[in-house]
Structure 1
């Protein structure tokens, strides 16, 4: 596929979109990191015998607390749904329960801490990737609530959640203001702005995600759906806007080329006419957690992590020694297994098509050939995605040309 286009000036891009422009030197950087299902930074993957952090965990740890020119870089990490490890927590992870709460918490972190001149960064993996995109969509839709607006956060979220529900009756009809229209109406957010409950046109510097799956962020598992354990949660999540908001300046997604589970269909971004976001979606070898991290052989995950850090290094200050340590850890894994260290891009490809996912069937991923998904029901349409800016990472070619395993 073709080389990514030249990157436009951020200042000129923001002006052309009517955004709230940041100061030439940001007062601070807010970095929100949303981890995947069943993953947390303390114990890594709960399916592993040892602590194996995801790429979101490792990214959050690689960000310096202060840039070289003294700008604070404030990281907020949120572990994934179901990361507690118990049966109830695992079921929450499978059904999508709790995703709305996590989305509100992430949004509240930004709204509580953001002031004009700050820069916003949002990262996520798997379910956390969906959450990251949903939070970005909310910022594009209703802005960033002020300290006066935050007390109404719950009611505003309910209004947004039911903005397309004709039978919706607000729990508090006069909150956040009387005679309110549907949240889908431009008058709703304009009234929020007029009452100084929100700040509109707030730019997001970067949204970076690892393998967003499922139209609503939750892989649909057949037997759970038939038992009615996913349908209610799916409806709860359907209001989130995960499209490519024009408030996002840069959007990066690492995608897993070899994921075969039917339930794990990728959710790609698509640029619509007039959108000026710099978009790069790059395919890497491996399955879902090969690219997002969490398997014992972390070589492929470290390659995708390095790619994401490279995309963001012009905006964030990273501890490069930390990344080098991650590569050494990946090589140490082979030594502990009494195995020869594998060449670059030759890391083990894991197959997640087992357990509860076998009954769901298999579907090979097809870069450049995806169609749009109806966000209200998660079903594919016949409309092909256009302007997705997909690329194949060199590690794929190296693996093929050099006869990788």
Structure 2
């Protein structure tokens, strides 16, 4: 029995992900979690841009980390090029083919993501629940392009069943090689269980915002039409921001279910999912949400390196760390924002770190202002 993890990264916080100006992307919780996994990175993946694979024979762990669409030289990325709206589909297909190459019955599949990556793995889980994975008797897994074509057509067939949905119309822009329908080459719905989906702050309940600055146009693509965790998924873990205010970052919550834990954490979007630098304690809050996720996935059989918590400065926890207000910066200043509304029917839990933070003086960044912490959004949630 193997543990197979697909870790999808990519945030809307900024185009570079470099908040401290050192020309290095700041690590999100997805990347930190991937680095906490045992094993060595695959030599083949070390030369790739924005993606890595890791294998550990001792713990039978296989993992892939993907930032955005991954390496720009990947055949699927090159084939689709800049096709409008193809980025999300590329991420889903790459996760689907990775799992198809590595899965054998009895393995545990764990999907992990933040922001766009959270959106990706939740959509991927629904895809797998409905279609299974690629059938090795129908597809030559070692032929990368053959696997991509079979996977894209399976996705096309799956999404076209969602009538009137933005995802099906995307294929009108796809290259001909991906647009024709071939016979189904998947193992079929219900054939592949998923051990866990662990995500930080899934946003896009109103659709993924895509901006065309030349035309001053905003599109909403891929709006979720199903927020019910599939019966094929054993566990769902969702770390949710209390303090994010950008309307485009409205959280996409799962409907309440005994298999689901949705936990509220202090801070804005990346204060929960990570991506701020470690200087001036700017990652204190996101490290709390990371530590929580490591614990949850540990109960599902995921093995992490013992030293990983100390490597990422996770101890001691600091619930009074600074939080960010990205809606006061850059282009976000001109876009709508308001305190989050958190519907009580989703049975959201409040992290202990929030309770430790309540009514205490905390710092807001980038202004440096000190305020007493008492978020309006918590008024919607039962204590």
State the TM-score, normalizing by the size of structure 1.
0.68
Cα distance in 1 for partners of 2:101, 2:206 equals 26
1:33 matched residue in structure 2: 7
Does the aligned pair in 1 maintain the 2:237–2:260 contact within 8 Å? Answer: yes
Do the aligned partners of residues 46 and 97 (structure 1) sit closer, same or farther apart at CA in structure 2, a change above 3 Å counting?
farther
Distance 2:270 2:85 in 1: 18
1:358 to 315, 333, 340: 333
- 2:38 aligned partner: 64
Q: Which residue of 2 aligns with 1:264?
A: 249
RMSD: 3.6
Cα distance per residue 1:232-268 (max 9 Å; x no partner): xx1xx35885541111111001111111111111110
Asked whether the equivalents of residues 65 and 72 of structure 1 are also in contact (C-alpha less than 8 Å), the reply is no
TM superposition shift of 1:133? 0.2
Whether 1:248 aligns to 2:233 is yes
Deviates more, 1:53-62 or 1:346-355: 346-355
**SS of residue paired to 1:98:** helix
Equivalent position SS for 1:135: helix
Deviation by residue 1:366-388 (Cα, 9 ceiling, x = unmatched): 3335xxxxxxxxxxxxxxxx3x2
Change (3 A) 1:162 1:362: same
- SS of alignment partner, residue 45 of structure 1: coil
Match of 1:142 among 131, 145, 160: 131
Shift of 1:305: 0.3
| Superposition pairs of residues 206-245 of structure 1, within 5 angstroms | 206-215=196-205, 218-219=208-209, 227-228=216-217, 230-231=219-220, 234=221, 237-238=222-223, 243-245=228-230
Rounded to whole Å, the distance in 1 between the matches of 2:265 and 2:71 is 26
Unaligned runs of 5+ in 2: 41-54, 73-80, 140-146, 173-177, 364-383
Alpha-carbon distance change, 251 to 123 in structure 1, aligned in 2, over 3 angstroms: same
Deviates further, 240-249 or 309-318: 240-249
Q: Which residue of 1 aligns with 2:190?
A: 200
1:378 matched residue in structure 2: none
2:358 maps to which residue?
A: 400
Q: How many Å apart are 1:63 and its aligned residue?
A: 1.4
- Cα 1:63–1:82, aligned 2, differ >3 Å: closer, same or farther? closer
8 Å CA contact retained: 1:138, 1:240: no
**SS of residue in 2 equivalent to 1:144:** coil
Alignment CA distance shift 1:292-1:202 (3 Å): same
CA contact (8 A) 1:30 1:120 kept: yes
TM-superposed deviation, 1:200: 3.1
**Residues 245-304 of structure 1: CA deviation (Å, up to 9, x unaligned):** 111111001111111111111110114xxx6x5111111110001111111211101110
Question: Is the 2:96–2:151 contact (alpha carbons within 8 Å) kept by the matching residues of 1?
Answer: no
Q: What does 1:6-405 align with in structure 2 at a 5 Å threshold?
A: 27-37=1-11, 45-50=17-22, 51=24, 52-65=26-39, 70-80=58-68, 97-147=86-136, 148=138, 150=147, 152-165=150-163, 171-172=179-180, 175-176=182-183, 197-198=187-188, 200-215=190-205, 218-219=208-209, 227-228=216-217, 230-231=219-220, 234=221, 237-238=222-223, 243-271=228-256, 278-296=259-277, 297-314=282-299, 315-327=301-313, 344-353=318-327, 354-369=329-344, 386=345, 388-405=346-363
With normalisation by structure 2, the TM-score equals 0.72
* C-alpha separation in 1, matches of 2:91 and 2:110: 17
Q: Residue by residue, what CA displacement relative to the aligned partner does 1:95-147 show, whole Å, maximum 9, x if unpaired?
A: 86511111111111111211101110000000000001000010111112212
Residues 218, 61 of structure 1: CA spacing in aligned structure 2 closer, same or farther, 3 A cutoff? same
For residues 130 and 78 of structure 1, the distance between their equivalents in structure 2, rounded to whole angstroms, comes to 13
- Unpaired runs of 5+ in structure 1? 1-26, 85-91, 178-191, 332-342, 370-385
